[in-house]
Amino acid sequence: MEYVTEIINSNMYTLVPSGLSTIVGYKSYDMLSNYMLVGEEGIKYYAEAHLSPWNAWIHTAVMPYSMYGMLFWLPALFNLKPSVARKMMWSLYALFGGHYYRVNKMGALLYYAMYYYTVKKATISYNETYRIKTTELIKDKVLVNRYCNKVQFYLLRKGLVISFCGLIFQEIFGHWIGGDIASRPEAVLNAIVYAMYFSSGHILGV
């Protein structure tokens, strides 16, 4: 019991924003329904481009990698320090989870289980990279802002490269080799919302 309490206390500053994000994610179902297909219809629409088992499993294997990169470049885009970036990462994790919980509870649990390590690894790596690069670059306190921009650019570039490579891999080795249609430009919003759900949910057909 003391161990559980210790974990909760050490993560308290992320629990509140994550909790609020879960509620927003749950409510986003209704808001997004005005602009796109949501729920089962949205998942089926996304699945239309991922009909082959090969393509589906490629997405299961590689999508966490793509999301890992995205969790780097999003905070870096706003030049967030590790403590704030961590809140952002866990809030995004909770945001999608809240939406998926509205769609299918088992699907949400699969998403939480599959992407937990991805988010945890991203928070640790972002913090370590930020610290190491800052230590390497900052030699003179007068030039702090200049070097912080270099750290931001490094994190941004690293995240974009990881995400881009992951998405291109899925497109070539998943869609093309698997014989499915290419990703549709008009389905970008749908992919943003349901790509992670599909990558985990199709395993149990939810």
pLDDT per residue of the chain (206 residues) written in tens, 0 to 9: 553 454 455 456 777 788 899 999 999 999 999 999 999 999 999 999 999 999 999 999 999 999 999 999 999 999 899 999 999 999 999 999 999 999 999 999 999 999 999 999 999 999 999 988 777 666 555 455 555 678 888 899 999 999 999 999 999 999 999 999 999 988 999 999 999 999 999 988 76
Q: Which domain holds residue 35?
A: 2-201
pLDDT at residue number 12? 63
Q: Is residue 206 part of a domain?
A: no
Query: How many domains is the chain partitioned into structurally?
Result: 1
Sign of CA dihedral 114, 25, 8, 16: positive
Q: Is residue 22 part of a domain?
A: yes
Q: Is residue 121 part of a domain?
A: yes
Of 197, 169, 201, whose CA–CA distance to 183 is shortest? 169
Sign of CA dihedral 15, 16, 22, 25: negative
Q: Is residue 184 part of a domain?
A: yes
Q: Is residue 107 part of a domain?
A: yes
Of 3, 1, 13, 198, whose CA–CA distance to 123 is shortest? 13
